[in-house]
Amino acid sequence: MSGTDKSTQNDGAFFTLTDERDGQQYRLPLLSGTLGAPAIDIRNFYNTSGVLTYDPGFTSTAACSSAITYIDGDQGILLYRGYPIQDLAIHSDYMEVCYLLLYGELPSPEEKATFERDIKLHTMLHDQLMLFFRGFTRNAHPMAIMVGVVGALSAFYHDSTDIKDPEQRMLAAYRIIAKMPTIGAYTYRYSLGRPFVYPKNDFSYAENLLYMTFSVPTEEYVPNPVLVKALDRILILHADHEQNASTSTVRLAGSSGANPFACIAAGIASLWGPAHGGANEAVLKMLTEIGDKSRIPEYIKRAKDKNDPFRLMGFGHRVYKHYDPRAQIMRETCHEVLAELGIKDDPLLDLAMELERIALQDDYFIERKLYPNVDFYTGIIMRAMGFPTNMFTVLFAIGRTVGWVAHWKEMIADPKIKIGRPRQLYVGHPQREYIPLEKRQQTEIRGWSRLWGGGNKNGK
C-alpha cells in the first residue's frame, strides 16, 4: 500500500541491521512523522539484501503514511486531523467531522452549510437500485444486503467512477456518504416488509437515519433530540480509526485502481467480522448469554482459558493498551440515553458495568492491558434506541464510511501510489514432479465432500 509521503522525513537518523550470516550491515533511513513512533524505511531492503521482513497481522508495519487520524494507544489519545475525539464528540457534529476528515480543516459556517446541502442532494437511491433489495430474502443479514447494494452503486453512477478525475472522486465521496444511511435504513425496513421511506432534506444526517429507519408513512415522525445527539455521537466516534482492518482493505482494494464504490463494499465486508465491527453485535449476544451477574466469573474464566475459543467481546484492542477514549464517551452517552427513555435499570447495562469492573481487577486483563473498546457500550445504546442487534454493524459502517472515503482519496491523490502487494514466506512443497492420475497411489482419502458426510476419515 502506498500513502502520502509529504509529512514523512528522514532527519539524518538511521537504523543499522546486521546480517549475522556474513556480517553485512544495512543502514536504513529512519522516517519520522509529526507524532508517534518513527519507522524504518525498508522499501529498498529486499532489493539490496535479498531478505524479506515478516509481519503477519501488520503488528510492526506502517503500510502507508497518512495525515488523517492519530492514535496513541498507550495514552488513550485519538485525534482526527489533530483534534481530540472528546472535543469533537462534545462540541462538533457528524457533518462537520465528515468535512474535517475529507478536507483536513474545520469548515467555516458557509462551508458547512454548503457541504450539508450538497450531501443532501445525494441521499436518494436510483429507483432501480431499490429493486436490488427485493432480490434478498427477508431474513438476510443487513450487512449482507449492504455489501451487495453498495457494491452495486458502481453499476449506477458511471459519472463518478473515473478515479483519475478529482471531480469524480469527490462526487463519488459525497454520493457514498449521503447514500449510506438510506441503504442502512432500507436493509432494516426490508427485513420487516415495511415500505421504504424517502429521506427528508429538513432533517439532519442523524435525524434522517432515525426517520428512514423507524418512521411509518402514515404517522408524523418527530425525532427525539437526545437520541439524535447520541446517534450523531456514535457516528462521530466511528468516523475514522487510522489503518484498521476495514480501512486497510479499502486502501488495498483501491490501490489496484478499483472504483470507489467497489472499494467501500470491500471495507464493509471486512468490517463485518466479529474481531472488528461485528464486535458490537457479539457483545450484546455475549451479555445476553451471560444473563446474570452470578455467571460473570464463569465467563471470565472461559476468556482466560487458552483451550476455550471464547473471548470477552468488546474487550482488547490492537492499538489501545489503555481505556479506549471512545468507550469512555459511549459509557456516559449510554446513561444519558437510558435516562431519556426512562429505563431506570437496564439489566444488560448493569451486567456490562459489573463485567468491566471484575475484568479490570483481574491480573489476566491487567497484564495484557485489555480494556473495554468502543463496542462494549454502543450495543446497549443502539438496542435502547430500537435497533435490532443485527443492525449494529450497519450503523458502524455508516459512521466509518467517511473515514474509508478520506483514506481512499488520500491514497489516490498520491502521485507515488503503488499497488498494495505484500510478499510471503513460502512454506509449501519445493518444486516436485507431476505424476499422471493413473500412476498415483491412493493411500488415504483427501479433500472435503458432502458424499463423505462433510469430511473425510482423516478429518482434513
Residues contacting ligand ACO: total by CB under 6 A: 18
Out of 229, 311, 321, 322, which residue is the one contacting ligand ACO (CB under 6 A)?
A: 311
Determine the Cα–Cα distance for residues 320 and 442; give it in Å rounded to an integer. Answer: 52
Does residue 380 bind ligand ACO (CB under 6 A)?
no
Residue among 317, 324, 346, 407 flagged as catalytic: 317
Q: Would you give the DSSP letter of residue 451?
A: G
Residue among 93, 232, 240, 375 flagged as catalytic: 375
Cell numbers 486497510 label which residue? 248
Does residue 356 bind ligand ACO (CB under 6 A)?
no
Our CB check for ligand ACO shows the closer of 368 and 460 to be 368
Out of 112, 141, 293, 318, which residue is the one contacting ligand ACO (CB under 6 A)?
A: 318
Our CB check for ligand ACO shows the closer of 121 and 275 to be 275
CB within 8 A of 430, min separation 6: which ones?
none
Q: 141 to 160, contacts with ligand ACO by CB under 6 A?
A: none
Out of 375, 381, 384, 393, which residue is the one contacting ligand ACO (CB under 6 A)?
A: 375
Piece of 249-257, 288-296, 316-324, 413-421 that binds ligand ACO (CB under 6 A): 316-324
Does residue 400 bind ligand ACO (CB under 6 A)?
no
Determine the Cα–Cα distance for residues 118 and 116; give it in Å rounded to an integer. Answer: 5
Please measure the distance between the N-terminal and C-terminal CA atoms of the chain and give it in whole angstroms. 35
Sign of CA dihedral 326, 6, 169, 104: positive
317 is annotated as an active-site residue: yes
- Total Cβ atoms within 10 A of residue 19: 12
For residue 171, give the H/E element and its range: helix 166-192
For residue 11, give the H/E element and its range: strand 9-18
Q: Could you give the dihedral angle defined by the CA atoms of residues 130, 135, 138 and 143, in that order, rounded to the nearest 10 degrees?
A: -70
Determine the Cα–Cα distance for residues 333 and 85; give it in Å rounded to an integer. Answer: 14
Does residue 68 bind ligand ACO (CB under 6 A)?
no
Determine the Cα–Cα distance for residues 284 and 282; give it in Å rounded to an integer. Answer: 5
Give the nearest distance from C-beta 413 to ligand ACO in angstroms: 26
Our CB check for ligand ACO shows the closer of 181 and 278 to be 278
Nine cell digits for residue 129 = 437500485
| C-beta nearest to ligand ACO: residue | 316
Nine cell digits for residue 325 = 477514549
Our CB check for ligand ACO shows the closer of 57 and 454 to be 57
Piece of 48-56, 95-103, 308-316, 427-435 that binds ligand ACO (CB under 6 A): 308-316
Does residue 387 bind ligand ACO (CB under 6 A)?
no
Determine the Cα–Cα distance for residues 89 and 404; give it in Å rounded to an integer. Answer: 19
Enzyme catalytic residues: 317, 375
Given the rule CB under 6 A, which residues bind ligand ACO? 275-277, 279, 303, 311-318, 368, 370, 373-375
